[in-house]
Amino acid sequence: MSRDVSACNSYNYGDAMYWDTRYVQEAESGSFDWYQRYSSLRPFIRKYISPNSRVLMVGCGNAVISEDMVKDSYEDIMNIDISSVAIELMRKKNEGIPQLKYMKMDVRDMSFFPDDSFDSVIDKGTLDSLMCGTDAPISASQMLGEVSRLLKPGGVYMLITYGDPTVRMLHINRPVYNWKIELYIIPRPGFERPDGSTASKSIFEPVPITEKGLLPPDYVYEDPDSHFVYVCKKIDEISDDGAFKEENEIIII
Ligand SMILES: C[S@@+](CC[C@H](N)C(=O)[O-])C[C@H]1O[C@@H](n2cnc3c(N)ncnc32)[C@H](O)[C@@H]1O
């Protein structure tokens, strides 16, 4: 569950062939969710993504998160992946679930969908995979440009990643996307504090970030292998002054 794409050098995570081969090998064993399961992400997903909204799951793989979301009353989830093997497996597995749709697609070119097609985009480990490929910065900017184009004004791109702000903000915090970003930091599954103490801060509160989108210099990780949830809200120029609504107020220090 907490397999880490940071092992870029050992595996070719940026290569579609790698994923096809892997999903063929894993076909027997069924599904696998990278980093975190829906139960851990649910508070963030329910906070920012309404069950009746149109959701795009990019790089769905064979994860069960979309199925879990449908069990939790989400109505419309389009799942895409560059691996035709993963898409065929998942389409077959979930053919009786009309809320789930599957298409083979490269996140760098989602021209099949018109602008403003989705209320939200969920990415668990897919930008991370692209960051392992050749021409990673170009791939990241193609993908994020497409995500921004597909989001309705006011929509949310939720990125779940192992990448801390020093390696992710330079890609996502670009004026061209017009996103306001909130950051949450959550421990990896199974993390236990060495001394059995309780958490010193709530993981459900956004972490303060500097104007450059970085953590405060004195920030201390409870779990050094934490995962990061970036909530990127596409500013709605008409009804939104760019800030999150009062309860989600952005924290800039
Ligand atoms: C680390 S896995 C994460 C899978 C799933 N989201 C999860 O949480 O378990 C990355 C996924 O991204 C897919 N992927 C990699 N490059 C892609 C691309 N250019 N377009 C679409 N999907 C891609 C891979 O096939 C793989 O399924």
Q: Say if 6 falls within a structural domain.
A: no
Q: Say if 149 falls within a structural domain.
A: yes
Instruction: Report which residue type is found at 252.
Output: I
Which stretches of 53-117 are assigned E, i.e. beta strand?
54-58, 76-81, 100-104
* The model's pTM: 0.92
pLDDT at 252: 42
Indicate the top mutation candidate among 56, 81, 139, 159 to test ligand 1's pocket, ranked by most ligand atoms within 8 A of CB.
Answer: 81
Ligand 1 atom closest to 133 (CA): 16
Q: Say if 2 falls within a structural domain.
A: no
Q: Say if 5 falls within a structural domain.
A: no
Q: For residue 62, what is the domain's CATH number?
A: 3.40.50.150
Supply 230's token pair: 């970036």
pLDDT at 6: 57
74, 101 contact by CB (below 8 A)? no
Q: Say if 9 falls within a structural domain.
A: no
DSSP 138-178: HHHHHHHHHHHHHEEEEEEEEEEES--HHHHHHHH--GGG-
Supply 88's token pair: 């065929």
pLDDT at 226: 95
230, 183 contact by CB (below 8 A)? yes
Q: Say if 174 falls within a structural domain.
A: yes
- With residue 109 as reference, give the H or E element that holds it: none
Q: Say if 20 falls within a structural domain.
A: yes
pLDDT at 45: 98
Each residue's pLDDT, cut to its tens digit, for the chain (253 residues) gives 344 555 576 677 878 899 999 999 988 888 899 999 999 999 999 999 999 999 999 999 999 999 999 999 999 999 999 999 999 999 999 999 999 999 999 999 999 999 999 999 999 999 999 999 888 999 999 999 999 999 999 999 999 999 999 999 999 999 999 999 999 999 999 888 877 677 777 899 999 999 889 999 999 998 999 999 999 999 987 776 545 544 444 444 4
What's the total number of domains in the chain? Answer: 1
| Rounded CA separation 23/57 (Å) | 18
What domain range includes position 229? 16-248
Cα–Cα separations (whole angstroms), residue 236 to 139, 155, 203: 26, 8, 27
pLDDT at 191: 87
Measuring from each residue's beta carbon to the nearest atom of ligand 1, which residues come in under 6 Å?
A: 5, 19, 33-34, 59-61, 63, 81-83, 86, 106-108, 124-126, 129-130
| Rounded CA separation 58/209 (Å) | 26
Distance 130 CA to ligand 1 centre (A): 8
Q: Say if 7 falls within a structural domain.
A: no
Q: How many CA atoms lie within 13 A of 215 on its CB side?
A: 18
Ligand 1 atom closest to 13 (CA): 15
| Rounded CA separation 66/203 (Å) | 23
Which residue has its alpha carbon closest to ligand 1 atom 13? 59
pLDDT at 104: 97
DSSP lists the bridge partners of residue 156 as: 120, 233
pLDDT at 4: 53
pLDDT at 251: 42
